[in-house]
Every structure is written in structure tokens, then in C-alpha cells.
Amino acid sequence: MRTIPADLVKKYEAEGWWTQETLGDLIVRGLADAPGTGFHVHSAVRPWSGTFADVELVARRLAAGLHERGVGPGDVVVVQLPNWMEAAAVFWASSFLGAVVVPVVHFYGRKEVGHILTSTKPKVFVCAERFGRTEHQPDLYADVPVVGVVGRDFDDLLADEPMAGILPTDPDSPAVIAFTSGTTRAPKGVVHNHRTLGFETRQLAARYPADRGHQITNSPVGHFMGMLTAFLVPVIDGMPINLTDVWDPAQILRLMEENDLTFGGGAAYHLTTLLDHPDWRPSHLPAMRYAGLGGSAVPTSVTRRLADLGITAFRAYGSTEHPSITASLYTAPEDKRLNTDGEALLGVEIRLAEDGEILSRGPELCLGYTDPELTAQHFDEDGWYHTGDIGIIDADGYLTITDRKSDMIIRGGENISALEVEEALLGMPAVAEAVVVAAPDARLGEHAAAFLRLRAGHAMPTLDEMRAHLEKVGLARQKWPEELHEAEDFPRNATGKIQKFLLRKALREAAETAG
């Protein structure tokens, strides 16, 4: 793990940002304060409805059953489940035991899951018997001592009598290892302890609008932020939990009307697919009062569109490594909310390197990676995390992400911001989503290639039509894409972020085949 400078530790403790509480302490207190709060899973294959107390009973029976099998503080529990009640039970039970939770996105395949199991050497693995195209593969976890398969034998792990209280746990010890593929090839294991996650949870809860209503959670709980926003924030906030296990805009819109639920944001993709769905009507707007946007680049065309509909949009920036770096409060001035990624949050420090890379540090910054080489690469001795993102900070301290280092296109020695070109392309009426990446170029090294997802009923623009539009908006000619491709959708990670490396790989392979 990285070395955290002693002066930072002392500051975080003195400010009360780091406490002696564990995740188990937070969960127990929240559940005791609101036992009758509703917990609902809106699923076509595994619906469930009950209360916090009902789920806690399952979690405590599971904790007792796992403890009988030798599971305790520091042991690793890997859980790969959709947004189901059992996922909450495993997370809460693990927290009661002081175990280290490793959430795995439910659609990760054999290669990714195998890598995670090898990296963490768990004592427990819980998965689904079958969900969508994924089903359990016994040989994959043959060496794991304790296995539970929801839909088959998960209930066999539950003891007759629930475990009382929680096991004593060091708050400085690891609590969650979150594997994130982001836009890179191999999943990275990001290690957080009880103190970093405790602060992050309290900060997230404090930022939520008081009148947000009962929100739908669609983010996969196998992803770090999905698990926090589904199973930690509502518990300490005493708010109902409403989960869906697939991204289905029609279902979300129906739940808004039939169950009086609200949708509070996500990636820009989620908001635009809701607004563009044929079932969407202005009557849905009261259930979309707020739109917190993050998880990937947020085009200003999207935030402007939301604002024109009367939706209070606000942006945030963070990562699995440093979950909440900047954000605009929903009460911030509109130009800041719509056009920047917000200002540094409580306890967070940000600065820009000479090349514009964003460096950050703060109380919710992770401990490092399971891979020591990655830790050494991304964290320096002064406690700064080198994000790999490029940004600018305005006179008021608001940050705007302008690109990612790996997404820069170097055409004949000149840097081109993919994000700038994408923003320009989004001004075309036909374009719902635009992605620009580097394509091989025998003469220039690289040139820009654009992939467009179209709005319903629109035809694919031609290269000439695209050039005419870019000339009209004043984008320099050397930045214009020299290839244009239509895409029904894009490869995405669990948060909806587009995995650009796969598009770059496809272009390289096509060039090699042609050449």
C-alpha cells in the first residue's frame, strides 16, 4: 500500500474526517434507526420486497453461518451478484464480520473473474446460478473454501440463529477491494479501508438534495460506487432502497409513474436514453427534478438540454481510486453546474501538473492497488494521486475535465482533444452520442476517427456533412475526424463509461488487415 504522509493522517483525524468507526458500525447504527424502511427489488427474474429489518435478519444469519465456517476480520469475500437483496445481505454480513468485500460486476466474464479470484484469494465466493448470459462455473472457484450460489444453495450458508453485534475490526484495515476496468485492459484492484469509505459515505449523503424523493438505483452493485449508493448511503440516511437489475428505460419510466419513484442521475448516457425513449413524456419531469452526472465525460449539450427541461443538473468528478474529487452542489450557480465538473469537495486538494494532469488527495483517497507496481506508478510520496485526466481550473476554483491522457490524439505531432471534437459533433441534430479516438495513420502517425450513435429516425451523416458542421462551429480543420463510423451502441464498463481502447483496437486491427 502507499505511504500516507503523517501530517495528512493527523489532519484528517483532527478534522473528524477519519474516525474509529468501521463500516459495520455505520450500518448497524443506520439499520437500528430505520428498521421499517422499505427495501424493494424491481426485477423480472428475482423480485423482492421487504424492510431493512428483513434484510438485516438474512445478513445476520449469513454472518453467523460464515463465522461458523471460520470467516472473520480480514478474510476476503468476493460477491458477484446483480442488484438483488442477497447482494445487500452479503455486503452487510461481511461488514458485521470485519471481512474484506470484493464486489464484482455481474456481467464480468470468466477471464476477469478468474483474475480477481487469483488476485484476492478469497475465503468466500457468492454468485448467481444464472443471470442473463452469465451462469456460475464451478471449476472457476473450485479452490475457494466457502461458496454460495443464489438460486441454488445460498440459503445453506444461513445459520438458524442470527449473529449479534459485530466483530471488533481495525478501522485502518482494508474494507473493500474494488476492481475497475475503466477504459483500460486489465481490471485493477483498488483498496479502501473503513476510514476512507466512512468519510466518502458521509460526504455523499450530505450532498443529496433533501427533496430528492425515493430514488431508483440502477448502477450495478458489483461496482464500487453502485454498492455505496445502494447499500451504505440510504442506510445512514434512512431512505428506502429501490433496485433494478437491468438498464431498461421503459421500466424506469414505468416505475416513476406506478411507484412514485424518482431518477437522480448517472452517466450522461442514462439520462439521454430516458429522454429519447418513446415512452418518455413531460409528465415524467416531476420525477426527474435533479440529475447528478458523472462516471464519464459529461457533454455540455446534455446538461443544457436538461436545464431547458427544468431539470437541475449538476456534475461531479471522481474515480474508484478517489471517489469524490470535485462536484457542484445542486444549489451552485447554473453556469458552474452545467459547464464545469465542480469545485474541490471537503478535505480534497487538487492541483495541475505541468502537462495539465489532475493530481488529487483527500480523506477518501484509496490506499493503493493490489498491484504494487500500479501503486508506485500512480501515487507519489507526498500523497498525491496522479489521475491520468487533463483539466483546467477557473478563477473560482471550479475544475473542468478537458481530456484523458490516453485519449489524446497526436496527429503529426499536434495534440487533439477527443473531448473537444466530441462536443462539436454533438451539435449535429442526428447525433445522440459521439466518440472520437485515434486511428493509425501511415503518414501522420494518428488521425481522429469518429463513431456516432444516432437519434431515432435520423440518417447517418456523410463525411462532407460532418465537415460542413465542424467548419460552421469553428473547429480547426486539423482536428476534424478523417473517418466516420456508425455505432448502434458502444462497449461500456459498469458505470456506462465507454471503453475507448476497444474502439482503438478495432481500428488498429482493421488497418493491419487492410495493409
Model confidence at 474: pLDDT above 90:
no
Q: Predicted confidence band at 440 (pLDDT cuts at 50, 70, 90)? A: confident
- DSSP-based three-state secondary structure for 426: coil
Residue of 233, 270, 231 lying closest to 253 (CA atoms): 270
Q: Are residues 93 and 77 in the same domain?
A: yes
Q: Are residues 323 and 440 in the same domain?
A: no
Residue of 513, 504, 511 lying closest to 443 (CA atoms): 511
Tell me the CATH number at 326. Answer: 3.40.50
Residue of 60, 82, 63, 81 lying closest to 72 (CA atoms): 63
Domain boundary among 175, 210, 242: 242
Q: Are residues 300 and 271 in the same domain?
A: yes
Q: Which of 8-17, 84-93, 472-481 has the lowest mean pLDDT?
A: 472-481
Which triple of cell numbers denotes residue 130?
444464472
Q: Which of 83-92, 210-219, 287-296, 391-400 has the lowest mean pLDDT?
A: 287-296
Q: Which of 73-82, 166-175, 178-187, 416-425 has the lowest mean pLDDT?
A: 178-187
Residue 48: its H or E element: strand 48-51
Q: Which of 23-27, 211-215, 364-368 has the lowest mean pLDDT?
A: 211-215
209 inside domain? yes
Q: How many domains does the chain have?
A: 3
Tell me the CATH number at 59. Answer: 3.40.50.12780
Q: Are residues 462 and 393 in the same domain?
A: no
Which residues, in sequence order, are bridge partners of residue 147?
125
Answer whether 148's CB lies under 8 Å from 371's CB.
no
Q: Predicted confidence band at 182 (pLDDT cuts at 50, 70, 90)? A: very low
pLDDT of residue 122: 98
Q: pLDDT tens digits for 326-384? A: 999 999 999 999 999 999 999 999 999 998 999 999 999 999 999 999 999 999 999 99
Q: How far apart are CA 515 and CA 499, in angstroms?
A: 25
Q: Predicted confidence band at 184 (pLDDT cuts at 50, 70, 90)? A: very low
Answer whether 394's CB lies under 8 Å from 400's CB.
yes
376 inside domain? no
Q: Are residues 258 and 212 in the same domain?
A: no
430 inside domain? yes
Angle between helices 194-207 and 224-231 (to 10 degrees): 60
Q: Which of 184-188, 380-384, 446-450, 462-466 has the lowest mean pLDDT?
A: 184-188
Q: Are residues 87 and 203 in the same domain?
A: yes
Q: How far apart are CA 37 and CA 17, in angstroms?
A: 28
Domain boundary among 215, 242, 269: 242
Q: pLDDT tens digits for 113-130? A: 998 999 999 999 999 999
Q: Are residues 50 and 160 in the same domain?
A: yes
Q: Are residues 403 and 418 in the same domain?
A: no
Mean pLDDT of the chain: 93
**DSSP assignment of 172-184, as one string?**
TSEEEEEEE-TTS
236 inside domain? yes
pLDDT of residue 444: 77
**What φ, ψ does residue 248 adopt, rounded to 5°?**
-135, 100
373 inside domain? no
CA atoms within 13 A on the CB side of 256: 22
Q: Are residues 191 and 253 in the same domain?
A: no
Q: Are residues 221 and 84 in the same domain?
A: yes
Q: How far apart are CA 83 and CA 54, in angstroms?
A: 17
Q: pLDDT tens digits for 58-113? A: 999 999 999 999 999 999 999 999 999 999 999 999 999 999 999 998 888 888 89
Give the position of cell 466474464: 109
* Cα-Cα-Cα-Cα dihedral sign, residues 158, 159, 164, 166: negative
Q: Are residues 234 and 271 in the same domain?
A: no
Q: Are residues 429 and 448 in the same domain?
A: yes
* Cα-Cα-Cα-Cα dihedral sign, residues 127, 91, 224, 432: positive
Mean pLDDT of 406-429: 85
pLDDT of residue 296: 64
Q: Predicted confidence band at 407 (pLDDT cuts at 50, 70, 90)? A: confident
Which triple of cell numbers denotes residue 174?
482494508
Q: Predicted confidence band at 183 (pLDDT cuts at 50, 70, 90)? A: very low
94 inside domain? yes
Cα Rg of the chain, angstroms: 23
365 inside domain? no
Domain boundary among 347, 373, 407: 407
What distance lies between CA 86 and its chain's CA centroid?
20
Express as a percent the part of the chain with pLDDT over 70: 97
261 inside domain? yes
- DSSP-based three-state secondary structure for 93: helix
pLDDT of residue 134: 85
Answer whether 230's CB lies under 8 Å from 216's CB.
no
Length of the chain: 515
Q: How far apart are CA 413 and CA 351, in angstroms?
A: 26
Range of the domain at 283: 247-358+387-407
pLDDT of residue 476: 78
Give me the amino acid identity at 58: V
Residue of 429, 423, 408, 434 lying closest to 487 (CA atoms): 434
